[in-house]
Every structure is written in structure tokens, then in C-alpha cells.
Chain A
Amino acid sequence: DAGVIQSPRHEVTEMGQEVTLRCKPISGHNSLFWYRQTMMRGLELLIYFNNNVPIDDSGMPEDRFSAKMPNASFSTLKIQPSEPRDSAVYFCASSLAQGAGNEQFFGPGTRLTVL
């Protein structure tokens, strides 16, 4: 079975450009999570959705970041405009349902470099 799929795997862009990261969760999973990993801050949750509805976006760093989930099989994380400090690996994860008893499965990540 396919796991969580993310695209692109690598993205290099210039400061000020718009960046869109994409995620396809595991089929049948109702919860989707976006995480960011940097050397300084480690892995941190940005936002999560349940049944396509954003539940907690308290981890989104600022208004330049936005996330959508138009349907159960697709989500995007957009950064506009991008800045060098946004350089990180962005992971998408999904779980069968929300709640602490449901394990989250992670995708391979998108490595973003903003020059």
C-alpha cells in the first residue's frame, strides 16, 4: 500500500517567491498533519486537519503560511512570500482518526531551500 506521498521532494527557490508543497494522505485516513523540521527547532507541528477541516493552526509561524485541504486525498501548504528562514524539511503525516490512540504515519518530506 502507498504511504503518505509528498511533492516535490526538493524545492529550491528565491526569497520572495511563492512555494506550494503538496501531500496525499494514506487512503481512508481522516486526519492530516503538517510538520516542519529544522536544526534549531527540531520537529514541530504547524497545523492539522480532521475530515478536511483545520482544527489547530497554532503552530503556523505567521500569515505568510497557509494550508488547505480541499478533499480527503489532497492538501497543500503554501508560503507566500518565502524567506530564507523558511528553509527546512516539511513533513506531512496522516492518521486514521484524531485522538492520542491513533498513530501518525509520515511522508518522506519536502526539503525546501530559500535563497
Chain B
Amino acid sequence: DAKTTQPPSMDCAEGRAANLPCNHSTISGNEYVYWYRQIHSQGPQYIIHGLKNNETNEMASLIITEDRKSSTLILPHATLRDTAVYYCIVRGGEYGNKLVFGAGTILRVKS
């Protein structure tokens, strides 16, 4: 079962930052927060992951609260091609190989 809660959908204006929230109040100390997205008819695409600290890469930033019970994925300048389903996944421990996908958030970027 998914350990995260995400809003079912969000809209964002093109060129603006998209901030996607995720609640994971039961996360354990050795569990990572992962974000993937799936553009229609394509395979899930890895975006970013983190354990405790905030992370940034060429695609996005991940902000994790100090108590680790929630996080936000930030796409700094959303484009139409960022329209997709975004999945927040909690994945844990040395043997936490499973990615358990929930329903995700449908992000619609509009011009």
C-alpha cells in the first residue's frame, strides 16, 4: 500500500513554478522520498529522491520538512511538456526495492 497522500490534480501556468505537495506522516528514519512522473503512454521517469536533506538536480528540487512528514517537489519553470502524473513514493531500507505507486497528482501546465 502507498504510504503517501497527494492531491489528485493541480494546474500550473506555463513558466511559473509548480509546487507539488506530498504527505508521508508515517515515514521511517531509513526511508527515502522518491518522485517519478509518467507522461501519457510512456514509462515512469525518475525525477529526484532524498532522505533528509533538500535535493536539487537539473529537473527539480525536493524540499523535505524537518520532521520528514511531508515534502514538496518544485519544478522551477514549468513547461507544457511537464504535464504528467507525478508520483511521490516512500521507499525504505536496505531491501526496500519495491516502488509502490499510488494514484499520484495529475499536473496540467497551461499556456
Assuming the contacts A101-B32, A103-B34, asked whether A48 and B97 have C-beta atoms less than 8 A apart, the reply is yes
- A43 nearest CB neighbor, chain B only: B101
Q: How many A-B residue pairs have CB under 8 A?
A: 59
A100 near B96: Cβ-Cβ < 8 Å: yes
A91 near B95: Cβ-Cβ < 8 Å: no
Interface footprint category on A: 20 to 34
- A92 nearest CB neighbor, chain B only: B43
Stretch of A11-19, A62-70, A71-79, A104-112 on the interface side: A104-112
Stretch of B11-19, B44-52, B65-73, B74-82 on the interface side: B44-52
Q: Across the interface, which residues of A come within 8 angstroms of B49, CB to CB?
A: 101, 103
- Give the secondary structure class of B's interface: loop
- B30 nearest CB neighbor, chain A only: A100
Q: Across the interface, which residues of A come within 8 angstroms of B103, CB to CB?
A: 42
Q: How far is the CA of A91 from the CA of B95 in the complex (A)?
A: 21
B97 near A106: Cβ-Cβ < 8 Å: no
Q: Across the interface, which residues of A come within 8 angstroms of B46, CB to CB?
A: 103-106
Shortest distance between the CB of A56 and any CB in chain B (Å)? 7
- Residue in A43, A55, A104, A106 whose Cβ sees the most chain B Cβ within 10 Å: A43
Q: Across the interface, which residues of B come within 8 angstroms of A91, CB to CB?
A: 43-44
- A100 nearest CB neighbor, chain B only: B96
A106 near B101: Cβ-Cβ < 8 Å: no
Shortest distance between the CB of A89 and any CB in chain B (Å)? 8
A7 at interface by CB-CB < 8 Å: no
B108 at interface by CB-CB < 8 Å: no
A82 at interface by CB-CB < 8 Å: no
19 more CB-based (< 8 A) A-B contacts, given A4-B43, A45-B100: A31-B97, A33-B99, A42-B101, A43-B44, A43-B101, A44-B101, A45-B98, A91-B44, A93-B99, A99-B96, A99-B97, A100-B30, A100-B95, A100-B97, A101-B32, A101-B49, A107-B43, A108-B42, A109-B42
Q: Spell out B's residues near A (CB within 8 Å).
A: 30-32, 34, 42-46, 49, 51, 91-103
